[in-house]
Amino acid sequence: MKLTSTTVLSLLICILCTCSKEEKFIPLNEQYLKDVKVEGAEKVTLDNNQNFIQVVLPENYSRDVIDLDFTVYDGYELQAYSALPNTPKSNPTNKMTIEFKGMLPVRVTVLRKKNSTFRNYPVYVEQMGPLKVSMAADTLCVLRHDTENSIAYVYSPTQIISGIGTIPGSPNAAYPVITITDTLTKIKLTGEFRGFAFPMKTDTSVLPLKNLIVQLLYQGKSFTFPGKKQLSMNSKDCNLVLDGRIITRKN
């Protein structure tokens, strides 16, 4: 039997009309997560089509964490965030506190209890204001070198003070860029800033480099680290302390 578009439309109307008047039709793209609020945020966007949460913080936001308050639909539940895989737990409070500065976006999971299907919502955070980052040591260290691709993985303990939230800060956003320029040899290295580490395309035969100017670039903003830095592969230079642990260069 050939169905015309009018017939198909009529069938759909009949099916919908058989639903109880007390039942509320919820669009598919809203079934899992209804709303999210963040204390102190300038703007919070919940995108149920692409499944992500975008948080924008004002310049004067001084905490390293954000408090999220979720609203889910009946029949769904928020899963407690865990660093361990395959260990989801119910979060009856629908509240969550996450670190964000220089961190990867945390993926929030909402579970449909009826059939255990779920959706993940990464939480992206942008913070307004100028770039400001502190660096704990004047020596940047090559912890690992990919000789086949000439990529040096450079490390230095850093602390983001303002201007950067999660890395990346929004879906499809570029990473912050860090540049290292030797003021004597004019050698310039460029890489992605990923918090503590930044992979850079370089030949380690040029190391060590001294008298370095280190600059961070992000979304049209720039920040120059104070003082001159050096880049080294020397084990004595590269035994750095992070959170009380000794970080030693790996060959």
132-247 topology per CATH: Immunoglobulin-like (2.60.40)
**Whole-number pLDDT of residue 118:** 86
Greater confidence, 102 or 237?
102
Q: 26-127 and 132-247 share one CATH topology? A: yes
Q: Of 235 and 207, which is predicted with more confidence?
A: 207
What is residue 204's three-state secondary structure? helix
**Model confidence pLDDT, tens digit, residues 159-182:** 888 899 999 999 989 899 999 999
Residue 133, C-beta contacts closer than 8 angstroms, at least 6 positions apart: 158, 159, 160, 161, 163, 164, 216, 223, 225
Q: What is the pTM of this model?
A: 0.75
pLDDT-wise least confident of 91-100, 112-121, 149-158, 238-247:
238-247
Report phi then psi at 30, rounded to 5: -120, 5
Residue 151 has pLDDT above 50, yes or no: yes
pLDDT, mean of residues 25-29: 46
pLDDT for 10 equals 40
Task: Provide the CATH topology of domain 26-127.
Answer: Immunoglobulin-like (2.60.40)
pLDDT tens digits, 154-163: 888 788 888 9
The domain segmentation of the chain, as residue ranges, is 26-127, 132-247
SS3 breakdown of the chain: % helix, strand, coil, rounded to 5?
Answer: 10, 45, 45
* Residue 249 in this model has a pLDDT that exceeds 50: no
Grouping H, G, I as helix, E, B as strand and the rest as coil, residue 51 is: coil
Note whether 150 and 201 are within 8 A (CB). yes
Residue 102 backbone class (left: φ over 0; alpha: ψ -120 to 50; beta: rest):
left
